Amino acid sequence: MTAPPVPPPAVELRGVEVRYGQIVALRETDLAIARGRVCGLVGMNGAGKTSLLKAVLGLTRPVRGTVLIDGADPALARRAGAIGYVPQAEDVDWDFPLSVRDVVSMGRFTGQGPTRRPSAADRAAVDTALERVGLTDLAGRQIGALSGGQRKRAFVARGIAQSAHVMLLDEPFAGVDRTSQDELTILLRQLAADGATVLVSTHDLASAPALCDEVALVRGTVLRHGSPAEVMRPELLAEAFGVPLAPVTTPADGAPSARPADVTPNAPEEVHP
């Protein structure tokens, strides 16, 4: 492999191995994603999608290999507030007594002093982020009083307020209805158009072609990485999911205009309608 030309990939994994005790979650994992791209991590539950996101975040340390953000140590990117994270729904305490605005404001903590007292600029950035995701009118609501899709957008707004240019989303479409899923897809596409790199894990194949510029099939490692049309072929999906599947039809250019009919893997997991 020769040295990559400038600029370096926004997110890069080289030979990454992640273990939890005796269990190997990821081995020999390579992945490089350029700036401004939306990459879907597709695979079964337990395939290592969350482990991959956590390795990018730096939350789990790989026992082998390197992770680079913008060609540098992820710790630098974290301190600069470059990484935004949208957690899985079950990782959030939805009864927590914070408003939508409070949650979005937490995106501004990196640039603030030790007490995190918000400045006028911080408030303006929060207003802009709320407006961008269409939650201005709901800003005063308690965070759990939002619908599934609105909750996801609130966390995306936190990343926008933070000016994160690497956005990590763990299963954002779980428990979200179709309309909200489309809204979220449009929002993430806009962020990518503005130069953000978006990494989305999903076990819902149907959502991938409309959202993603590229797809990485994950099963203990990155099996295949390319455009949705290249990667989401029946034989490759069968390899990733371990079961034979009905063919997924995607437009050859991967344009987000057409969405294939509901094609969901017959995998042993909760599949939402």
Report the interface residues with another protein, using CB under 8 A: 57-59, 75, 78-81, 83-85, 87, 91-93, 96-99, 102-103, 106-107, 109-110, 114-117, 142, 158, 162
At closest approach, how far in Å is the CB of 98 from another protein? 6
Q: What is the dihedral of CA 60, 63, 64, 66, to 10 degrees?
A: 30
Cβ of residue 136: shortest distance to another protein, in angstroms? 19
CB of 171 to another protein, least distance (A): 14
Closer CB to another protein, 2 or 115, in the complex: 115
Q: Which is nearer to another protein, 88 or 264 (CB)?
A: 88
Q: Which is nearer to another protein, 62 or 254 (CB)?
A: 62
The C-alpha atoms of residue 8 and residue 241 are separated, in whole angstroms, by 31
The phi, psi pair for 199, rounded to 5°, reads: -115, 120
Given the complex with another protein, which of 17 and 102 has the nearer CB atom?
102
CA angle 37, 19, 10 (to 5 degrees): 20
Give me the least distance between CB of 241 and another protein, in Å please.
27
Write a three-state SS string for 28-82.
EEEEEECCCCEEEEECCCCCCHHHHHHHHHCCCCCCEEEEEECCECHHHHHHCCC
